[in-house]
Amino acid sequence: MDIRELARHLGLSIGTVSRALNGRKDVSPATRKRVIDAAKTHGYIPNQSGRTLRSGRTGTIGFMLTLEHDSAMHGDPFFMALLEGVQNGLSEHDLDLAVLLARKGEDGLTFLRRHVSRGTVDGWVLSGTQHEDARIAFLLDRAIPFVALGRTATARDYAWIDLDFEGLVAESMRLLTDAGHRRIGLVAPPATINNSQIVVQAYRAALERAGIAFAPALVHHGETDESDGEATASELMALPERPTALLLMGETAPVGAYRALRRMGLEPGRDVAVIGLRDNPACRALSPDLTCFSLDLDDLGLALARGMVAMLPGQYDATKPLVQQLWTMKLRLRQSHLAPPRVG
């Protein structure tokens, strides 16, 4: 039943029904009750597009996904599990989740402008944050609620949750340098991604702590998926002084790296130490079992949803600090890091 039918059924004007449903004061309590009861009885659902115009509320949160950046960092398995967590968190507040995908090659700001001007959603979860990320200032300037999965270079204050890349690189490097490795190859995400810079900084700090000189040839920036893991491992192992250990900061990079190593007659975990990012199904399928980090994506998704809801009008409390959380990942010690630092 639409609003016209509901109004006809009640013998009221559409305007009165609309004002009653929107809780306006110029409708008597008795009429309001009659309208709301009838709306319930007849299963009337307000047209959300209409409600958007009146109250700016769509009941939906947008998760902005930029396949190019996000796949580069995390690949596929990360996001589906994360989205399930976000969805669960939003459901608690009767909010829907719409994953909105930036078009291929499309600038993030163009995408966001389009959806903001359309009023597609009430608030945003941003992912794949870049070091210089114009989306942050755009949303802050317009007071549009959002939470970012990832930090950026901006000095401005905003809500974010990020993985503790500093911590996981430091822990991986300590494991390798304590075992005597001095030539450690690093596969980091594309340089524009904020976490790529954090990863390289943490890598360099760890080298310095261990008294090892930084060799730029050992650091590769780029996509961190399976095929890039394969290409990069090949390149790094072809260096005149090849690394004895590889640190691979992409979800499926280790799958390609194992393949590349074996093609060169090298066995991961015996001839070359390998540490990966996260124990997704692809990494769990590897043998020898991959030393990497584990992460509860349901919990992370839930935290993002709650961080987002805390920014919404009616929930936002300016006296409380913004959500700004580094999310620790837990080392999952297996066999792949065990290769001794033999120089090939």
Query: Footprint of a copy of itself on this chain (CB under 8 A)?
Result: 45-50, 52-53, 58-60, 67, 71, 75-77, 79-81, 83-84, 87-88, 91, 96-101, 103-104, 113-115, 117-120, 225-226, 252, 254-255, 258, 280-287
Hey, how many other C-beta atoms are within 10 angstroms of the C-beta on 76? 15
**Cβ contact 285:252 at 8 Å:** no
Nearer to a copy of itself, 138 or 210 (CB): 138
H-type alpha helices, the chain: 3-10, 14-21, 29-41, 48-55, 67-73, 75-91, 108-118, 134-141, 165-178, 194-209, 226-237, 253-263, 281-284, 297-309
Please name the residues in contact with 147: beta carbons below 8 A apart, sequence gap of 6 or more.
123, 124, 125, 126, 159, 160, 161, 304, 307, 308, 311, 323
Q: Give 125: exposed, middle or buried? Use CB within 10 Å, 0-12, 13-18, 19+.
A: buried
Nearer to a copy of itself, 80 or 239 (CB): 80
What's the min distance (Å) between Cβ of 324 and a copy of itself? 26
Token representation of residue 287: 């043998």
What's the min distance (Å) between Cβ of 75 and a copy of itself? 7
Nearer to a copy of itself, 74 or 181 (CB): 74
What's the min distance (Å) between Cβ of 114 and a copy of itself? 7
Report the C-alpha gap between 254 and 247 in whole angstroms. 9
Report phi then psi at 221, rounded to 5: -105, 140
Nearer to a copy of itself, 117 or 319 (CB): 117
Chain centroid offset of residue 29 CA:
46
Nearer to a copy of itself, 97 or 173 (CB): 97
Nearer to a copy of itself, 29 or 43 (CB): 43
What's the min distance (Å) between Cβ of 153 and a copy of itself? 27
Nearer to a copy of itself, 28 or 48 (CB): 48
What's the min distance (Å) between Cβ of 113 and a copy of itself? 7
Give me the numbers of helices (H) and strands (E) for the chain, helices first please: 14, 12
Provide the residue type at 42 as one letter: H
Nearer to a copy of itself, 227 or 328 (CB): 227
What's the min distance (Å) between Cβ of 304 and a copy of itself? 14
What's the min distance (Å) between Cβ of 226 and a copy of itself? 5
What's the min distance (Å) between Cβ of 244 and a copy of itself? 23
Rg of the Cα atoms in the chain: 25
